[in-house]
Structure 1
């Protein structure tokens, strides 16, 4: 076995279940992709089965209707009114210029039902309407889940801010790629007639076609927005193959160390890496994830998902609905059938989002989270149609930043609407400077007393 070959996994794609775990399940409840080692094996054998879970291309008749139809903006202030419109919503999510699982129907409805985010809902739906066609023949061209506030920070100003909560890591609206400019133009027309001063574009992608579209939108409005925040976080962009990616982003010493840790783990028992994709099995693994996370430091600090009933209910609904649609992947590292690291990924179009990861702290010295992440890198490269994965991690993350080589920029823009909005946005840089200047002066004064 070549010593300089990066860590890899020997996968079985027959859907067999780990023998020592979940023994009470029926034969139909299979897991997808079982690996017994992260040592070198045939990468060509690594493939996760998938049953048409990738969003299909927009039908030509839908795209053509986008160009020809009249676009109208519908304002929805009661989120319950959208419960029965998930088919149009999901179709738009699969055709969006910027994939965003956190604004999919199941994610937004679960958040509104269980997390009660701050602000009053003011969801804007841009619909394409054909003259003389029935209402149910319309297609969604844009979905902008805003929340309304009477103030921006401490300033009286009617504000729309994108829906944001503890488990929403991207706030890019869903905009149909075939009529993106027309959709934003319809939004502009609506804003010009709304009682509004500030529009905050929270946590928007700073790279790619959507970011270019947003820049064009700001220029077209003629009102210079203010960049109130910007940071970068880890991004995984698929390379030609997993070996190339690992060699490029990990040093030879790091690969050798991870191989050593895996060997030490195998001294304790049988090691397996699995990927669960079957909706019939995922319910059990969702519970396993919650239990493992709550058993660690997050449970002690009351920051685990299961520490708060509302957060647990959100996660259960979000994960179960993602699983039902074929968008959820749960990866696990097992030791003698016991999960010692679990990772939850959610697919969205050509990309995916690393939602959460947890591990058993008693095995921390073996770095089970990092070993599982190496398996994740291989599975991302093996699964057809996945081009990238967003880490959803904090900036300067101590683990993922050392394994993933790319970064994506996340920005928050404050855009003015009307005269008062332009005045407020123009004053914001000065107000921030004054606030930062006053704090040190106050500290010096307090220390001198």
Structure 2
């Protein structure tokens, strides 16, 4: 199974004897997935996932990471490409993990939530179609990195496996990350997380910032305001440590083009915002937000490191939290941050359980079991190597 985008391929065609409705699954290049049914599925999906919005996914596939491209497993109702039941971008295990094994991995650039889009009225059938589609592509295992471990999507996958007599999915790399889902008074919420003393200190720093000039919190949410705001974000990110390490979005022309196009595409449908904290008209902190179906993803943050004395990133996050609290259309915000993040974990108190779902595609399959063991061993080895490098670096710094 090559990681290279391939021509449309019919993987399964299931009829009424196996499922309650006829449906079929295709493996398509993401760039060729039809937009109208895809957008419709995203708007009604069992659980939303802004990373799988067509504006984000197609721009990422075409431009990010040197425009490598990727495919998607797509389930449709009936023989045509009408109502879409499921969507999941995938690459081979070799492309994702450098493992030469028959597995597919849900992966696309800059994506840290891989729970698939599923039709809520036929969620178990949709989840089953993805499992059958992966099997039809020759995969013995379907891997969903950073998938929600609890909720209706995880339940639908579990039920689809049970109906096929397949062992439950195994979980690797399970952890929790910060989220915001409060319905109470936002200032009380912030005090509860940060503590009254820390919140008072942030107010003091905000007054210090105001002593230096005019401070404004703004949100760009229309294409005409989003485009220049994205450029300011890219410049700000490039000016910091990500720019020095060459990992900022602006460091690669394709990555910058990806976020520009995704922002405009999603922004035209109310699905993208750029929040900014400005001092005398200059952006000192900025955040990118993906929105849709009542939920949001705090996708990226950048701040002026020379202004660290007033904690611009924290100040921005506080303002964004207040805005989320006032937005009747948003009920849940995923921080997309690493577990134990030193900043967001002390502001947002809810937690989202995520991990890598390792899903067999056949009943009693020893090949799938062997791949699971290999993937888990690979992660352990990588973690041990990182720990060793960190230990050696710390020892070197102590000698200096």
Query: Which interval holds the TM-score relative to the shorter structure?
Result: 0.7 to 0.9
Residue aligning to 1:73: 25
Q: Which ranges of structure 1 fall in alignment gaps of 5 or more residues?
A: 1-66, 444-449
Deviation per residue, 1:200-229 (Å, 9 max, x gap): 122111122222223333433422433221
TM-score if structure 2 supplies the norm length? 0.83
Match of 1:186 among 114, 119, 129: 129
Residue aligning to 2:284: 340
Q: Shift of residue 421 of structure 1?
A: 2.2
Match of 2:206 among 238, 243, 262: 262
Match of 1:291 among 235, 240, 245: 235
Higher mean alpha-carbon deviation, 111-120 vs 321-330, is at 111-120
8 Å CA contact 2:61–2:108 kept in 1: the answer is no
Larger Rg: 1
Residue aligning to 1:209: 152
Distance 1:413 1:263, change over 3 A: same
The whole-number CA distance in structure 2 between the counterparts of 1:434 and 1:397 is 21
Q: Shift of residue 105 of structure 1?
A: 0.7
Higher mean alpha-carbon deviation, 375-384 vs 149-158, is at 149-158
Distance 1:260 1:116, change over 3 A: closer
Distance 1:363 1:107, change over 3 A: same
- Residues 315-330 of structure 1: matches in 2 within 5 Å? 315-330=259-274
Q: Shift of residue 379 of structure 1?
A: 0.4
8 Å CA contact 1:120–1:149 kept in 2: the answer is no
Q: Which 4+ runs in 1 deviate beyond 6 A?
A: 117-120, 436-439
- Residues 11-410 of structure 1: matches in 2 within 5 Å? 69-76=21-28, 78-82=29-33, 85-116=34-65, 121-129=70-78, 135=80, 138-149=82-93, 156-165=100-109, 167-221=110-164, 222-410=166-354
Distance 1:291 1:105, change over 3 A: same
Q: Shift of residue 281 of structure 1?
A: 1.3
Distance 1:217 1:335, change over 3 A: same
8 Å CA contact 1:111–1:314 kept in 2: the answer is yes
SS at match of 1:113: helix
The whole-number CA distance in structure 1 between the counterparts of 2:92 and 2:374 is 19
Q: Shift of residue 251 of structure 1?
A: 0.9
The whole-number CA distance in structure 1 between the counterparts of 2:118 and 2:308 is 42
Residue aligning to 1:36: none
The whole-number CA distance in structure 1 between the counterparts of 2:242 and 2:232 is 15
8 Å CA contact 1:226–1:415 kept in 2: the answer is yes
The whole-number CA distance in structure 1 between the counterparts of 2:367 and 2:153 is 24
How many aligned positions are there?
Answer: 366
Q: Shift of residue 129 of structure 1?
A: 2.4
Deviation per residue, 1:243-290 (Å, 9 max, x gap): 232232221101110111011111111211112222221111111111
Distance 1:129 1:240, change over 3 A: same
TM-score if structure 1 supplies the norm length? 0.74
Q: Shift of residue 378 of structure 1?
A: 0.7
Residue aligning to 2:8: none
The whole-number CA distance in structure 2 between the counterparts of 1:281 and 1:325 is 14
Q: Shift of residue 376 of structure 1?
A: 0.6
Distance 1:190 1:361, change over 3 A: closer
8 Å CA contact 1:329–1:345 kept in 2: the answer is yes
The whole-number CA distance in structure 2 between the counterparts of 1:338 and 1:121 is 38
The whole-number CA distance in structure 2 between the counterparts of 1:410 and 1:195 is 26
Distance 1:200 1:339, change over 3 A: same
Q: Shift of residue 340 of structure 1?
A: 1.2
Distance 1:243 1:112, change over 3 A: same
Q: CA RMSD in A?
A: 2.9
1:421 and 2:370 are equivalent in the alignment: no
Residue aligning to 1:9: none
Q: Which ranges of structure 2 fall in alignment gaps of 5 or more residues?
A: 1-18, 390-400
Residue aligning to 2:10: none
